[in-house]
Structure 1
Amino acid sequence: MDSVQLRMARAALKIGVRELAALAGVTTATITRFENERGGLNQATSAKLKAALVEAGIMFIDQNGNGPGVRLRDRQS
């Protein structure tokens, strides 16, 4: 997961930094720093964020010629 994917995922879910921080159990400063490309994430923090986003309905798209991305998982009625 890169910083652009994290920003896109939050936008798709319509959640703020505080909400994601609570869902993932990380600090808001960590998310903000990563999204602003002022620092990386350690493996454990990255895993927490990615797991929280996947649980909330995000699918991560690998590099496919146009760059990595995210999309919302289809919602079942």
Structure 2
Amino acid sequence: MSILKVSIRQIKAARALAGWSQEDLAEASGISVPTIKRLEAADGEIGGRPETGAALVAALEKAGVEFIAENGGGAGVRMRKRSARGKR
């Protein structure tokens, strides 16, 4: 199983889709606002400790964001479809 490489641009786009501020992401992920600001000031893949990136991605996925891997069509993000049986 390969680990999904997530870029800072995907994190920013995911926050926008979720309607979250940096403060909202900090609260949901347990990562400090200054750390999120520092990471988002850069470009490329998420820097810092792997656990930090994993916490950010997990919080955004819990909010309904799906990260799309680079697969020839370009990396991206989208909101997950809600199931027809019931909303979670």
TM-score (norm 1): 0.89
The separation in 1 between residues aligned to 2:35 and 2:62, in whole angstroms, is 20
Query: Which has the higher mean CA deviation after the structures are superposed, 37-46 or 4-13?
Result: 37-46
**Shift, 1:13, TM fit:** 0.5
Aligned twin of 2:18 = 13
1:24 aligns with 29
Find the counterpart in structure 2 of residue 3 from structure 1.
8
Quick one: distance in 2 between partners of 1:45 and 1:67? 24
1:68 pairs with one of 66, 72, 75: 75
Measured against aligned partners, the alpha-carbon deviations of 1:25-73 in whole angstroms (never above 9, x if no partner) come to 0001111111110781210111111111111101000113343110001
Identity %: 39
Structure 2 length-normalised TM: 0.79
User: Which one has a bigger Cα radius of gyration?
Assistant: 2
Q: CA RMSD in A?
A: 1.6
Point out where structure 2 has 5 or more consecutive residues left out of the alignment.
1-5
Aligned residues: 77
